[in-house]
Structure 1
Amino acid sequence: MFTPQVIFQIILFFFVLVTIHEWGHFYFAKRAGILVREFAIGFGPKLFSFKRGETRYTLRLLPIGGFVRMAGEDPEIVQIQPGQTIGIRLDGRTVTHLVLDRLENRTDLVIGTVQFIDIEEALRLEIEHDGAVEHYSVHPQAMMVAREKENQIAPLDRQFGSKTVGQRALAIFAGPFMNFVLAFVLFVTVVFLTGVAQNVKIDGVEADSPAQKAGLLAGDIIKQVDNTTIGSSSRPLINLIQASPDKKMQWVVDRAGKEVKLEVTPTNNNGTILVGVRLISDKRSASFGDAISIGWSTMSDAARNILQGFKMLVLGQFKMEDLGGPVKIIQVTGEHASAGLPQYIFWAAIMSLYLGMFNLLPFPALDGSRILFLIFEAIRGKPVDPNRESMVHFIGFAMLMLLMIAVTYNDILQLIRG
C-alpha cells in the first residue's frame, strides 16, 4: 500500500532522475553560450511555470521525461519580413521590444513599416515611420511580442547550430553523464549506509535439517567449504551447495574464535538443494576507500546487466510481459521505497544508470542519435539538413510514444490480473 511517505518518495525519485539529466544539458549549453529558452520537467500541458533570467522553468503534466529547449534546435520564433507593420519599443536608439500584433491604441510604441531587418547577425532594423526611414540597432536580448507572449530573439552566436561540434556534443552528452555521476554517488551512499560484508554468518538453523544434523549453530561464521574459501559473499557457498545434492561436504566454521570442522550433506527436495540455514553478512563500517571501490564495482556489474538487457531487446529475446512501463516502474519504486532507505537509494542508482545508458542508444529522438548525427557532421565536414534530422527525431519520438502506450497498457493488464 502506498503511504503518503512512499508517494512522496516516488515523486522525488522521478523528479531527481529527470532533473539531474536535464540540468546536464542546461549547464553545458549555457557554458557554450547557447540561449536556453525552456527547462522542462515532464511533457504535455504546463502545471507550473516561472521565468528566471533568459530561461523559463516549467513543470508539465506527464512525468515521462523532460527537455531543455535551446535556441536554434527548432525553427526559430516568428520571422519579420520587409513590408510588415510592427511596433518597436526603444531605449535610446536601441530596439528592446518588437511587437507584431495588437498595435492599435498603443502609445508606448513607435509603429512603422519594416524596410530591412536582421536580428541574427547585423542586429539592425530600418523602419519607415511618419514618412521617414529610421535606422536602429537591435539589442541582442530584445523581446519579440506576439499574441501576448514574449520570446527573446536569438542572435546566430546564441543558437545551438552556431557552436562547434564539440560544444554541441558536450551539451548533449552531459545529460546521460550526469545520470552516471548520480548513479555512482548513490551506489557509494548505499555502501556507507549498509557497511562492508566481512564474512558469511549463519543466522538460524532449521529443525531436522541437514545443517542441524551436522551440528551447525546460529552464529557460526563459514570460513571454508570443500577447501574453497567463502569470504564475504554467500554466492560461492550457494553455488557449492547447488552442485552437491546428497553429497558430503566438508565445512570449516569459526565458532566463538575456534575452528570447527563438520560434514554437511545437502538434500534434494524436488530439485531444490537445501542444507537448512539462514545466512547473513557480518558487516563493518565502510571506509571512504571501501565505498568508492565497492560503489564502482557495483555500478560496473549493473551496467553489464543493463547492456545484456539491451542485447536481448535488440535480438527479440523477450516477451511483451517482460517489458515494464511507467505504471510498472511506479509500482516497483513503491516497493523499494517501502523496503527502507538503502534499498530505495540502490533502486534510484540502478534507474539513474539505466536512464543514462538508455539515452545513449543510437535510436532517433534519444541523445545517442543526436550525438551520432554530430559525429557524421564531423566526418563529412558539414551538418545534415536540419529538416531531415528533425523528421528522423520526430519519427523516433513517435515510435517511443507508441512503445510507451503499449507497455503501459501491458502494465495495467497485469495489475488487473493480479
Structure 2
Amino acid sequence: MSIIIAIIIFGLIIIIHELGHFIAAKANGVKVNEFAIGMGPAILKKQKGETLYALRLLPIGGYCAMEGEDNGSEDGRAFCNKAVWRRIIIVVAGVCMNLILGLIILIIHTACSDAIVTTTISKFEDNAVSHSTGLEVGDKIIRINGMRIFTSMDMSYQFTNDSDGIYDMVVERDGQKVELKDVQLEMQDDVIHYDFWVAPGKVTAGSVVTQAFKQTATDARLIYISLADMIKGKYSLKDMSGPVGIVDSIGSVIDSETDEETGKVDWSALSDTIMSLSAFITINVGIFNLLPLPALDGGRLVFLIIEGIRRKPVPPEKEGLVHTVGLLALFALMIVITVSDILKLI
C-alpha cells in the first residue's frame, strides 16, 4: 500500500509540474513535440495535432519536450526562438504549479481540521522553565533566534535544532513586540521538553487560507534552511531521504494508523497525514527545482537571465554540456541517497 500511495503522490506531483510547462509553452506559442508521464517504453500513446501524448512504463518522472529546447531549431515556434521573458515564464511555470498544488492541498487539509495550531501560548506546566525565563500566557511567538516564525512547525524546527535550549525570542504581547533574551526550555535526555501549550485557532474561511499560505511559506523555506545546515555540517547525506525513504515513511504512517488486533486502518487519520506529506513534498519539489543547479529549472533560469543581460544566448553546446554534467551529478546523488535509504532498512 505504501508503494501505491507513493506512486500516486509522485505521479500527481510530476503531472502537475510538467503540465505547468506544457500550458505555459502552448500559451506562448511554443511547439510541444511530446508530453509524457513516466520514463522508458510507452505503454499508451496518442498523437493529437503536433503533440504526442504518452504514458510510459517507469513511474519515475516525466517530461514536456519542446521544439528547440536543448538544440537550435529553424522553426519559428521553437523554444529557443522565443523572447527571453516568454522562456522564463515557461521555465518557472512548473515550479508555480507545484506551489499552487501544495497550497490547494493545505487549504483542504486545514479546512478539514478541528482547529488551527497557532503560535500563541495558552498555558504552562507547573514550574515551567520557559515561563520563569520570560514567556507569558498570551504571547504570540514571532521570532526565535532571528528566524521569522510562521507556524508551529517553525517553532519545532528552531527548538529542536538548537544545542543548548536557550533562545532569543520576539513575541507579540498586548499588541506590542517584546524582545526576550535567554528564554530556556528544559532538556530531558538531550531532548527538548515543551513545557507550554499553544492556543487552538478557529477554523474560518479567512483563517484557513491564511494558515495555508503560512504553511506553504514554512515548507518552502525549510529546504533552503536544511541545505544551509548541510553546508555547515549539521547534517550529512545520510540524513536525506529519497523515494525509498519516503515509501518507508509512508509505511510507518500506515502501521501507526492500523489497529494491531483488528488490522483495520484509521483512514481519516491516515489521509490527514498523507495530505500533509503530499503538500510538503510537492512544495519542496517546486522549490528544489528553483535551485540554480544545472539540469534543474533554476539552472535554466540562470542561463536565461545571463542571456537577458548579455542580449545574446550562451552557445547551446556549452549550456547543453553544463546541463548534461549536472544531470549526471543529480543521478549520482540519487543513487547515493537511495543506497543510504536501503541501508537504513537493513
TM range (shorter): 0.7 to 0.9
- 1:135-150 → structure 2 map (5 Å cutoff): none
- 1:365–1:243 CA distance, 2 compared to 1 (3 A): closer
* Contact 1:200-1:282 at 8 Å conserved across structures: no
> What CA distance in whole angstroms lies between the structure 2 residues aligned with 1:273 and 1:379?
49
2:319 equivalent in structure 1: 389
- 1:107-122 → structure 2 map (5 Å cutoff): 120=74
Q: Report how far residue 323 of structure 1 moved.
A: 1.9
Count matched residues.
291
Q: Does 185-194 or 331-340 show the bigger shift?
A: 331-340
**Counterpart residue identity of residue 229, structure 1:** V
* Contact 2:72-2:316 at 8 Å conserved across structures: no
**Counterpart residue identity of residue 27, structure 1:** I
Question: Over aligned residues, Cα RMSD in angstroms?
Answer: 3.5
> What CA distance in whole angstroms lies between the structure 2 residues aligned with 1:269 and 1:406?
34
TM-score of the superposed pair, with normalisation by structure 1 = 0.61
- Say yes or no: does 1:196 pair with 2:116: yes
> What CA distance in whole angstroms lies between the structure 2 residues aligned with 1:297 and 1:192?
14
User: Residue by residue, what CA displacement relative to the aligned partner does 1:324-379 show, whole Å, maximum 9, x if unpaired?
Assistant: 22211222244456552222111111111111111011111000111111111111
Gaps of 5+ in 1: 78-119, 121-155, 203-209, 215-223, 245-265
Q: Report how far residue 75 of structure 1 moved.
A: 4.4
Q: Percent identity?
A: 34
Return structure 1 stretches of 4+ with deviation > 6 angstroms. Answer: 198-202, 231-236, 266-269, 271-277
> What CA distance in whole angstroms lies between the structure 1 residues aligned with 2:205 and 2:83?
39
Q: Report how far residue 61 of structure 1 moved.
A: 3.5
Q: Report how far residue 231 of structure 1 moved.
A: 6.9
Q: Report how far residue 23 of structure 1 moved.
A: 0.5
- 1:283–1:372 CA distance, 2 compared to 1 (3 A): closer
- Say yes or no: does 1:44 pair with 2:45: no
1:14 to 3, 10, 13: 10
- Say yes or no: does 1:183 pair with 2:102: yes
1:23 equivalent in structure 2: 19
**Counterpart residue identity of residue 300, structure 2:** R
| Higher fraction of helix | 2
1:65 equivalent in structure 2: 61
* Contact 2:96-2:286 at 8 Å conserved across structures: yes
**Counterpart residue identity of residue 322, structure 1:** D
> What CA distance in whole angstroms lies between the structure 2 residues aligned with 1:17 and 1:411?
21
Gaps of 5+ in 2: 142-151, 167-184, 258-268
- Say yes or no: does 1:366 pair with 2:274: no
1:163 to 75, 82, 96: 82
> What CA distance in whole angstroms lies between the structure 2 residues aligned with 1:267 and 1:388?
55
Q: Does 299-308 or 394-403 show the bigger shift?
A: 299-308
| Higher fraction of strand | 1
> What CA distance in whole angstroms lies between the structure 2 residues aligned with 1:176 and 1:369?
13
* Contact 1:32-1:167 at 8 Å conserved across structures: yes
* Contact 2:230-2:236 at 8 Å conserved across structures: no
> What CA distance in whole angstroms lies between the structure 2 residues aligned with 1:318 and 1:273?
18
- 1:415–1:53 CA distance, 2 compared to 1 (3 A): same
Q: Report how far residue 272 of structure 1 moved.
A: 6.6
Q: Report how far residue 299 of structure 1 moved.
A: 1.7
The structure showing larger relative contact order (alpha-carbon pairs under 8 Å, at least 6 residues apart) is 2
2:211 equivalent in structure 1: 294
- 1:189–1:166 CA distance, 2 compared to 1 (3 A): same
Q: Report how far residue 290 of structure 1 moved.
A: 0.4
Q: Report how far residue 51 of structure 1 moved.
A: 2.5
